[in-house]
Amino acid sequence: MNKITVGLAALLLCGFGASGQQAASPSENSITDAARKLETQMAKNVPAGAEEMPAEKYDFRPTPGQNTFGHLVGHMISANYYLCSAISGAEMPKFNRPQDSDKKDALTAELKTSFDYCTSSLANVKDSDLSQPAKVGPPGSTRGSMLVTFAEDYGDHYAQESAYLRAAGLLPPTAQPKPGR
């Protein structure tokens, strides 16, 4: 499947409740509602994965050709600001671009801040906004095309984070045993 198909599938699946049924009255903003739901899930799981990795393993690489875990976290921070500003139509905020030498505490704090930015910047986006041109992104991008990239990136980023954690002998947040089970 191509990235657009995967992204659209992720957005559509997020639009359904736990029972797999839609609400009785469909939202006028079913796509952006699904994006907000996805962002809420990732705002919980991605920072939890970053917290799970010990500070001394932020320079961990599963193979010599891969980036470090800290680099991955830094990339996720930049992607959050870039994509959420593109979708919301806001100017991209100024932030300290993560460096490979940054420590876990600084990276996890900025990762949480980048998710806070996404939560607030996506709060009022409507489906009707998605055909507007994106202020950032490849030439000809719309806010909607950037939303598809956002959904695809979130899946990719969490999968990468999970793979790094497992390669380091740890479980990602969604694989952790649930209390009481």
| Per-residue model confidence as pLDDT tens digits over 36-81 | 999 999 999 999 999 999 999 999 999 999 999 999 999 999 999 9
Q: What is the pLDDT, as a whole number, of residue 21?
A: 52
Question: Distance between CA atoms of 91 and 40, rounded to whole angstroms?
Answer: 22
Domain ranges of the chain: 30-171
- pLDDT below 70 — which residues of the chain? 1-24, 181
Q: With respect to CATH, is domain 30-171 assigned 1.20.120.450?
A: yes
Question: Distance between CA atoms of 85 and 139, rounded to whole angstroms?
Answer: 16
Q: What is the pLDDT, as a whole number, of residue 165?
A: 98
Q: What is the pLDDT, as a whole number, of residue 164?
A: 97
Question: Distance between CA atoms of 136 and 157, rounded to whole angstroms?
Answer: 20
- Among 54, 106, 50, 52, which residue's Cα sits nearest to residue 76? 50
Q: Are 142 and 133 in contact (CB under 8 A)?
A: yes
